[in-house]
Chains A and B, each alone.
Chain A
Amino acid sequence: KAGVTQTPRYLIKTRGQQVTLSCSPISGHRSVSWYQQTPGQGLQFLFEYFSETQRNKGNFPGRFSGRQFSNSRSEMNVSTLELGDSALYLCASSLRPGTGSLSTGELFFGEGSRLTVL
């Protein structure tokens, strides 16, 4: 079956602009998580959606937002871009939500959207 698809793969923006990234999960997966990956900070959790509801949110400013549609596809938006927002943004889907104490479900990651802010 098709994997997690993220678009666009690469994009360049300037400070102050906004960006929207898209993620299509594996068919049947209803949970989508977003992560920011940078060389200095590693993978940082942004948020997770399940059935169109945000279940968890990481420690990022309000400029970072997301949503999930009824077909489980998800988008994340970053407004008023800053240089420090340059990163690889990874989307991951899973069958069930969360990775809590009862869940050892695998996360399936997309190839990421590499954002460069100039």
Chain B
Amino acid sequence: TQLLEQSPQFLSIQEGENLTVYCNSSSVFSSLQWYRQEPGEGPVLLVTVVTGGEVKKLKRLTFQFGDARKDSSLHITAAQPGDTGLYLCAGAGGSGNTGKLIFGQGTTLQVKP
């Protein structure tokens, strides 16, 4: 069974601080997606990374896919209260798993003003 482990599970920081969320697996994925979910809503896709070593930037968010395509990270620079939410990584296309996304447990981020 493929698993994606996210760390940390909870993060509470002050506005302006930087943070990194990690998503690790022992399995190789063809692509990895990051979603953000706010209370009372469904997850919304932030980015998809496909190539090993790929780095994508979305304003203050930087996403990286590991060279071996087994892990990924999300770095937020100068966090703002609007960044508060649940961040989920999801792997696609792993071995024997071509039909569904495997989600990590999520990282709950709270950014205090």
Which residues of A pack against B, CB within 8 Å?
4, 33, 35, 41-45, 48, 55-56, 58, 90, 92, 97-104, 106-112
B25 interface residue (CB < 8 Å to A): no
On chain B, the residues within 8 Å of A55 by CB distance are 99
B contacts, CB < 8 Å to A: 30-31, 33, 35, 40-45, 48, 50, 88, 90, 92-93, 98-106
Say whether B88 contacts A110, CB under 8 Å. no
20 interchain pairs (CB within 8 A)?
A33-B101, A42-B104, A43-B90, A43-B103, A43-B106, A45-B102, A45-B103, A98-B100, A99-B99, A99-B100, A100-B92, A100-B93, A100-B98, A101-B92, A102-B30, A103-B93, A106-B45, A106-B48, A108-B45, A109-B42
Contact B88 A43 (CB under 8 A): yes
A68 to chain B minimum Cβ distance, whole angstroms, is 15
Besides A42-B106, A98-B99, 17 more A-B contacts (Cβ < 8 Å) are A4-B42, A42-B104, A43-B43, A43-B90, A43-B106, A45-B102, A56-B99, A56-B100, A90-B42, A97-B99, A99-B31, A100-B30, A100-B93, A101-B98, A107-B33, A109-B42, A110-B42
Given contacts A43-B88, A98-B98, A99-B101, contact A111 B93 (CB under 8 A): no
